[in-house]
Structure 1
């Protein structure tokens, strides 16, 4: 049997073997040999991955459940309704649209309805963490909505509430956006919501990075504090498939936004996401609080360990972080681009990032690194592991050791952390219950 398989593989076209080999190398490297600290990534559970690999990936379902423009969607409709219900329960939201295929698509659908060409939106500065989709460089610009930057307090690493309120009252924007990509501390939702509502503006909260912390009850739910709409991606601290959602408690607001998702920004919405998202939502109902708690513990532990190893970690006077992220100033280590490249050579995956005091044109070589602990937490790492990671990073960036040598040590270290935690163990399921892969 084994020799027969080898014979069949040997008959494949060379270009196909190369494609399969590259894919296998990627899977082995990223899943089993690296410490991944990208703040916008995660890994699904084995059960969610199995649900993801369903026949739904081949199918189309334009429209809404039970109101489709295609036939053959009876089970897609059932799954989509379940997703809406489950995510609504986790977020205490009455209305959820899971059809956006990314957080950016979710933002675009919301912005398209709340603003029009020539209207104004108040957002945080890019250097202070705003996602590109919030800005004139991304979705706002594409929709020709004016981008007005919200005052920021670099000492508190947060929105300058008093000046932001005054700006909102003066500008009278169509909407205000909170939430960010570089995001250590909760934004002042209640204060900004009150200011926005006083001028008949809506508050949009982009929870892409902290959705798992919100559903795990370790980050305040913006819908409880006055946000009109929550947008998010479903694959960062929330460990589901790549995609987006929109959630709200306002039915009158939900209707036009839901109509904007399709047909403005989404046709078919990548249906195989839905079973995987439903599985992840159920797992977060059961394990989300423990997972979110450990994420927050690990982020704080990593920040403290990196500071102890000699790195400049932002936010020391504020306790470093309350999210999954840690931010470093690595100018002394050659800047963000060089540091990120050296760490990748050592099998530690991070991303360079602008810091609040960087000029916008420093994007190619900013001062900082952004780290996220959610995926390594998912693989079972805890506070002591964060100390080990900090030591690896010090040896590469401060001591100047050969990153290729460190890469071999990281590879050996990672072998102990390959099982996904905070999810149902598929090995405990009854026989015959898990045959979604085909």
Structure 2
């Protein structure tokens, strides 16, 4: 086929004549249809944007470059970017009840790196939660903390409370005198004791950095207390977990001086251009969370508690029954006696149930490739409109696969049929199909609004 530059041609014809192009488009479409129409997506670190936020995401700013900060750039052509970034920070500041929010980190890990580098130097000590107890890898010697030459010292953990052991942690902080203490994590079912840890840390001159990536939506939804109000000096976060925005990051501080110091580090040390097209989607999602965030956060946690109870009723070993299983979006299941995490997660994937294997506090470091746990998140299925009644059905599907040993492919058909009832994103703006097309034309072709 001869293709002249600029020639308008049908997509089917293009795909027929360019096999590599067809492969790319097919893979993308197949993924999108499978995950958005046929799956129960319960990875605890994922979510979906509203259609309006997605359309706002597809804008010309993805082609542009902005070093520096609003109104103090190194390039021209950014007058609208500057105003949008300021507006997005203002919206997030209102949600977090602080004036000091920075959206330049392009991930939660980048935000962590900024905080670590600001308040430490190589050779300094950091007290962090154990990886098995939920600390993100960036908090450890294996990730950003280690790459920056900071010594990792693990805080004591109470398995009975599934949380940091406050008394032992305070004693450790007093003895070690670290430069920073990190709280928060990836396996995060109960709030860490921010107030008590902050008091101990501040007494020895340490900064408290609370990673709220997983629970940002619960914080702005007022289901979890804002760590800044409890004494944390900094919160770091991604923006696409319980907060259902675009993939990206942020940090926020209590004090202006900390904010200014971190601003000097995030650029130029860890970010140059900071993926400008996400700012609009971030702002749209922030406005949605102002309007519906509290209802959304409450439903996420109610669904997690109900799913945990239903899984336990179906024969699964769900951790922490004594404390109501969870107070976050996460449900943690010990599947060591059922085949362990790797095998069970793959079996469930075959049934269109997407969860992830996860280390549990009593796992050995060498168990990382096949840990004993599953981590299950309710934030995305809640975003699609599922409530407590649906948690019972989901628990039954999981029992069929894992305990009853039914053919996962047969269960996948049932899951797909169930999923048909939940095709519209909730807790966000809904616009007409006509307006979706209108906005898409603007984003793709710069047509007039």
TM > 0.5: yes
Query: How big is the shift at 1:434?
Result: 3.9
Alignment match of 1:96 (pick from 87, 97, 101): 101
36 and 69 in structure 1: CA distance in 2 versus 1, 3 angstrom threshold? same
Q: Which residue of 2 aligns with 1:82?
A: 87
Whole-angstrom distance in 1 between the partners of 2:183 and 2:98: 18
Whole-angstrom distance in 2 between the partners of 1:316 and 1:246: 34
Whole-angstrom distance in 1 between the partners of 2:17 and 2:83: 40
Whole-angstrom distance in 2 between the partners of 1:143 and 1:347: 40
Q: Deviations over 1:49-85 (max 9, x none)?
A: 0000000000000100011111111000011000111
Query: How big is the shift at 1:9?
Result: 3.2
Describe how 1:7-156 pairs up with structure 2 within 5 A: 8-156=13-161
For structure 1, which runs of at least 5 residues remain unmatched after alignment? none
Whole-angstrom distance in 2 between the partners of 1:211 and 1:295: 12
145 and 431 in structure 1: CA distance in 2 versus 1, 3 angstrom threshold? closer
Q: Which residue of 2 aligns with 1:246?
A: 251
Structure 1 runs of 4+ with >4 Å offset: 428-433
Any idea what SS the aligned residue of 1:224 has? Answer: helix
Whole-angstrom distance in 2 between the partners of 1:31 and 1:7: 23
Whole-angstrom distance in 2 between the partners of 1:155 and 1:431: 50
Whole-angstrom distance in 2 between the partners of 1:302 and 1:12: 48
**Conserved? CA contact 2:15–2:21, under 8 Å:** no
Whole-angstrom distance in 2 between the partners of 1:12 and 1:179: 51
Query: How big is the shift at 1:21?
Result: 0.5
Alignment match of 1:188 (pick from 193, 196, 216): 193
Alignment match of 2:431 (pick from 426, 432, 435): 426
Query: How big is the shift at 1:332?
Result: 1.5
Determine whether 1:170 maps to 2:175: yes
**Conserved? CA contact 2:135–2:184, under 8 Å:** yes
Q: Which residue of 2 aligns with 1:391?
A: 396
Alignment match of 2:318 (pick from 304, 307, 313): 313
Q: Which residue of 2 aligns with 1:339?
A: 344
For structure 2, which runs of at least 5 residues remain unmatched after alignment? 1-8, 445-449
Query: How big is the shift at 1:12?
Result: 3.9
Alignment match of 1:278 (pick from 283, 287, 294): 283
151 and 428 in structure 1: CA distance in 2 versus 1, 3 angstrom threshold? same
**Conserved? CA contact 1:94–1:250, under 8 Å:** no
126 and 9 in structure 1: CA distance in 2 versus 1, 3 angstrom threshold? same
10 and 115 in structure 1: CA distance in 2 versus 1, 3 angstrom threshold? closer
Query: How big is the shift at 1:256?
Result: 1.4
Whole-angstrom distance in 2 between the partners of 1:266 and 1:19: 29
Q: Which residue of 1 aligns with 2:232?
A: 227
Question: TM (normalized to structure 2)?
Answer: 0.95
Alignment match of 2:218 (pick from 208, 213, 216): 213
Describe how 1:254-403 pairs up with structure 2 within 5 A: 254-403=259-408
Whole-angstrom distance in 2 between the partners of 1:399 and 1:433: 49
Q: Which residue of 1 aligns with 2:443?
A: 437
Any idea what SS the aligned residue of 1:363 has? Answer: helix
Question: TM (normalized to structure 1)?
Answer: 0.97
